[in-house]
Structure 1
């Protein structure tokens, strides 16, 4: 497989494979972030698959990664974060509470 295509596919996976929320309350934020990221993936794939693309795969991949940086998977507590907090001895309520300053 071409290295450029592999890099683009890795960026697509990075965009869509975000951690699941620990609670139903985080699902709205998770869904919004995943939807935003999926939209950027569609734009990138359409750009690459266009019969006459304006930019190459390398540029499109860099643009997709830039968009992922602008739309990070934050604003909710992930399953892994909750499990780590529980392992530290926190209660479930403490484990699924957003850190101070992190808005949903």
Structure 2
């Protein structure tokens, strides 16, 4: 039987694509716009990387993976409160309103 485990370079690319798309959901609908914007930006970069690899990866799969990771670092999942962040704030004694409020600049 043939080994179907992806080689290291392909696995790294797949991990980067998963990282691009698997971002935490917002705790409230108020964060949906920021979430969708971030996810769309990250998905676009993942699509470009996948297209590059399917087109023969002229610079190599390793380079494409590294480039994708750099682009993802430029588009972190920020600008909204995640469910996990809200639960942690509630556990720390904050009210729901405080838990889902974005921090103000300088805080």
What is the TM-score of this pair, normalised by structure 2? 0.91
**2:3 alignment counterpart:** none
Matches of 1:20 and 1:70, distance apart in 2:
19
Moved over 3 A (4+): none
The size of the alignment, in residue pairs, is 101
**What stretches of structure 1 of length at least 5 have no aligned partner?**
none
**2:61 alignment counterpart:** 57
CA contact (8 A) 2:16 2:68 kept: yes
**What stretches of structure 2 of length at least 5 have no aligned partner?**
1-5
What is the TM-score of this pair, normalised by structure 1? 0.93
- How much is the aligned-residue C-alpha RMSD, in angstroms? 1.1
Indicate the structure (1 or 2) with the bigger Cα radius of gyration. 2
Matches of 2:25 and 2:105, distance apart in 1:
21
